[in-house]
Structures are given as structure tokens and as C-alpha cells.
Amino acid sequence: MTVDSQNMMKVIKDFPKQCREALELAKGISIPEEIKNIIITGMGGSAMGGDLLKIYLHNSKIPVYVNRDYKMPNFVNEESLVFAVSYSGNTEETLSSFNDAKEKNAKIIAITSGGKLADKCDKVIKVPQGLQPRAALGYLFFPMLGVLHNTGIISVKNSELNEMLEMLKDADKFSETGNTLSKKLKGKIPIIYASEALGAIAFRWKTQINENAKVPAFYNVFSEMNHNEIAGYKGMDRAYTAVIIRDKNDNDRIKKRMDVCKEIMEERVDVEEVYTEGEGLLARMFSIVYLGDFVSYYMAIRAHTDPSPVEIIEGMKRKLVE
């Protein structure tokens, strides 16, 4: 039996195609009324698109909130735009928060492949079925971007999209780099670091390593970790490897803190650095997301672990309904 029973490698390599298809899903969909805040409610891989949307909208005057809970925040009302995101359409927490958003008269768009959410919501963007939620990131992110562009909340330039799509086409390069890094992470517990601005991408790396490679991984952000976690390196050893995600647009003081902390870390653990690529924010975001997906895949294969199934999570869900 092959280790990659559901051909996760093909799914990862098809990610650029997924992004192109996802960009078409929001065509003609907009919100005509005024929006005062944006909430993305979801769990796991379905919430990650919201985390990335928050990065992309960092300069927006409209607040963006990612909700991972059974209820919506109290500020949600009829001037809120809620994206209810559940790949399966049956996520318990998301269905509950959707009901809460409906009671608060929020404007709701569901992004799902079907399930109860598709039946309950009046405005639905349907995405293709058959993937693990974490592998459907393009389908779950770009429709939200499209709706906000159509609504006039943001303006996404074709040149920025094209740069990202062109960069992602070189899957073999990302695969090779990911494979190389996975060798250095074999048998190690990774700790992923990034600036606060890209902290959600460090979190994505962590969760992909958890679900694909089935090993513990952790993450933190600069410069918050300078005020607590760095002290813990006194008790660290070579069982851990730190991976620092760096971006050319990181604040100069953040860059300095990364340099200083790297020296401190290297006294006790191995340290690897990876860099975003491209000019536009979309290219820089997705270049490092894509690399992380390959890293987690090859970590799984090196450990003779099937990257697709998540038996512990599925077993937990079964126990919850007993």
C-alpha cells in the first residue's frame, strides 16, 4: 500500500489550478449595503482562509475578525458581513455560530462544498468536493477576496494576482526546497516563527505539520516571543528545530530581533530560515504557504506516514456524538 493513499502530492501540485478556479467562484456576488465589520467564522483548515484574509486586509479601515467559536462576538449586527466557512458544511461550531449570526441579522455568505450549511444559508458559494479541508485553501480564500473586491471594500489588481499565479506554477521548485527542509526536520519538533503580520502563516505551517506529518509543532510571533518564549530556550535541546519565516517588508526592528534571537537559539537548537518571494502581498503570502505545504508533505513521507487521513481527529468526532 502506498504511503500517500489519497495522492496528496497531486492535490498540492494542483494548488495553482485550484486558485485560478476559485477566483471565478465569486463572480457577480457582492454586498450592496454598507459594511462596518467583517467576520470569518470557521474551524481548522476552513478558518485558515480567514486568517490569510486578515493579513491581506491589514490596511483596511474595516475591522476583520476570525471567529473560532460556537457563538459570534457581541458586536455582530445587521452591519456585519459574516463569511461562514465550512468545507464539509457540517462543522458543529460553524453551524452554531452561523445560527447566532442569523439571529443578529448579519449579512451572511456561506462558503462550503455542501452539507447542512449549504441548506441553511440563503447565499452560498459552492466549492468542489473531495478534498481535505486543509487542502482546499484556495477554494476557501479567494471567493472571500472576490466578494470584497466586487463590493468595493478592496481593489485587487490583476497584476498582483498574475504574479502570484505565475510564481506558484513552479511547483517543482517549491517541492525541491520543501523536500530539502523536511530532511532537516526529520525526527525534530519544529517551532515556527514569523512577524506578527505573518503570524497566521506560521500557524498554517504548524497545523499542516500536525495534520500531514502527524507530529507536534508549535508557533509564535515576533516580537511577542521576545518577552516570554525566548527565556525558555535555556532549557531547550536539539530535539527542537526553529524555523523563522522572513519577509522583506518586515519592520526593521523585527528584522533586528530575528537576527539577535537566531544567535541565541543556535546555541541550543538548530535554526532554519525561509523567505517569502515576490513583490505583491499575495505572492509573498502564498509563496511561503505553498512551501510549508510541501515541507509537511515530505515530513510525512519520510516518517512513512500517510499525509491525508487524520484518524485521531475523526475518532474524536465519533466520540463527541456517542
pLDDT, averaged per 10 consecutive residues of the chain (322 residues), comes to: 89 98 96 96 98 97 97 98 98 98 98 98 98 98 98 96 97 98 98 98 98 98 98 96 98 98 98 98 98 98 97 95 86
Do 209 and 130 lie in one domain? The reply is: no
For the chain, what is the domain count?
Answer: 2
CATH number of the domain bearing residue 46 = 3.40.50.10490
C-alpha span between 292 and 306 (Å, rounded): 17
List the catalytic residue out of 17, 157, 256, 317. 317
Does one domain contain both 13 and 112? yes
227 assigned to active site: yes
Q: How far apart are CA 305 and CA 303, in angstroms?
A: 5
Is 308 inside any structural domain?
no
Angle at 236 between CA 230 and CA 240, to 5 degrees: 100
Q: Which of 206, 211, 214, 277 is catalytic?
A: 211
Q: Is 304 a catalytic residue?
A: no
Residue pair 190/209 in contact by the 8 Å Cβ criterion: yes
Query: Same domain, yes or no, for 183 and 98?
Result: no
Among residues 61, 227, 304, 319, the one annotated as catalytic is 227
Residue 314 C-alpha from the chain's centroid? 20
**CA–CA gap between residue 152 and residue 36 (Å, rounded):** 13
Q: Are residues 19 and 152 in the same domain?
A: yes
Give, in order, the Cα–Cα distances in Å from 238 to each of 93, 178, 183, 226: 38, 21, 15, 20
- Could you list the residue range(s) of the whole structural domain that residue 253 is in? 163-302
Q: How far apart are CA 289 and CA 204, in angstroms?
A: 7
Q: Could you tell me if residue 280 is inside a domain? A: yes
Question: Is 256 a catalytic site residue?
Answer: no
CA distances from 283 to 124, 275, 289, 290 (A): 28, 12, 10, 10
- Residues 132, 208: contact at Cβ < 8 Å? no
